[in-house]
Amino acid sequence: MKRIEGGVCAAKGYRASGVHCGIRHNKIKRDIALICSDIPANAAAVYTTNLVKGAPLTVTKQHISNGVAQAIVCNSGNANTCNANGIELAERISEMLASELKIKAEDVVVASTGVIGQPLPIEPFERGIPQLAKELSAEGGDSAAEAILTTDTAKKEIAVEFTLGGKTCHLGGIAMGSGMIHPNMATMLVFLTTDAAISAEMLQKAISGDVKNTFNMLSVDGDTSTNDMAVILANGMAGNAPVTAEGEDFTTFMEALNTVTVALCRAIAADGEGATKLLECKVTGAKDEACAKKIAKSVICSSLVKSAMFGADANWGRVLCAIGYSGAEVDVWKVDVRFSSAKGEILVCKNGASVPFSEEKAKEILLESEIDILVDLGDGEACASAWGCDLTYDYVKINGDYRT
């Protein structure tokens, strides 16, 4: 498994672009992105479980119900959610793009992100879609990664190279997400592309299985978005024998997918609104995976833990508290807690009780930008990880006037 450049254009047969079409008032901010496969690709997706769903999700789910897609178009600045004509708009955008690219409208994945309940005019798309198509390029992944951002402060993209049946394959992805992040299916918006040949059924199995241990273990603020969507396209242009069942090749594909999704999880968590620190809670010694996941997610979601990490305060009692209300069955008198970073590691709790430790050393460790909260339950062999960020003053500032 080798990390490479290129993002969503690293795989064979994909081009991308990102332009400003006028949805955002800031004319230097790209606000619409396009990813296109040279040929129809197998497609799979997972969507938010929020009962309030963006219109693009409804349209996309219908479009790829046959397991095929060829293009992904995504605008930022407006979620196209809770709009009376939202479905009509999403369908019209698909039709315009299909006409421009000479493909089928039902082969278009359409996505939106931004303010909920804001009217969305069609005119920006009428201006932007022709330009998007014109600027499609094998080097356009970076522009697409920028165009899907909202309150994000950094682009999120990655690609890897791997081998299936003697053929070199590639898998890349881009993501947006900074706030309203507490997924219960996938994530904010993630678009993945691969040139590996894999059936639509196995592609769906792969992404549905992967998100349980990646994006579903990610939280910034406890809010599940209305527009969460993760989509993957596989055009088969690497030329490997198609993956149609579980086995060695499917396992390798899952490893490649997981490498990309974990990297995107970490990037999203690190770029949480107002965040100064990436947090990872690693739980070991659990009696089963479900127990480990509950505890890891509970710790990473705790506002008190997040605040303590912001202040570089080794207040390990907050970790124990989050473990206690997680709903997992655990013997708290077996729990050990350590804090770790590039500055070292320190034991702060042993068998559910305090131990002497240097507050100065702990603070030095917690002042780093990436912190691991290590929890050993001492009750088995299962483990799990969850990702999040600290809670800062700036989170409230950003969301206090997000719309106005």
> Which residues are catalytically annotated?
187
Strands 229-234 and 189-194: parallel
Q: Is 39 helix (H, G, I), strand (E, B) or coil?
A: strand
Q: How many helices (H) and strands (E) does the chain have?
A: 11, 15
Q: Distance (Å, rounded) from C-alpha 156 to C-alpha 184?
A: 20
| CB contact at 8 A, 387 and 279 | yes
**What is the torsion angle, in degrees rounded to the nearest 10, for the CA atoms of residue 225, residue 114, residue 16 and residue 249?**
-10
CA 29 to chain centre: 21
b/e code 50-64 from CB counts within 10 Å (16+ = b): beebbbbbbbbeebb
Half-sphere CA count of 373, side-chain side, radius 13 A = 35
Task: State whether the Cα torsion 223-207-329-375 is positive or negative.
Answer: negative
| CB contact at 8 A, 52 and 26 | no
Which of 153, 146, 158 has the alpha carbon at shortest distance from 193?
158
Q: Distance (Å, rounded) from C-alpha 44 to C-alpha 232?
A: 6
Q: Hey, how many other C-beta atoms are within 10 angstroms of the C-beta on 106?
A: 18
Q: Per residue, what are the HEC states of 270-332? A: HCCCCCCCEEEEEEEEECCHHHHHHHHHHHHHCHHHHHHHHCCCCCCHHHHHHHHCCCCCCCH
**What is the torsion angle, in degrees rounded to the nearest 10, for the CA atoms of residue 367, residue 370, residue 375 and residue 381?**
-160
CA 171 to chain centre: 15
| Opening angle at CA 121, ends 114 and 268, nearest 5 | 15
Q: Hey, how many other C-beta atoms are within 10 angstroms of the C-beta on 134?
A: 11
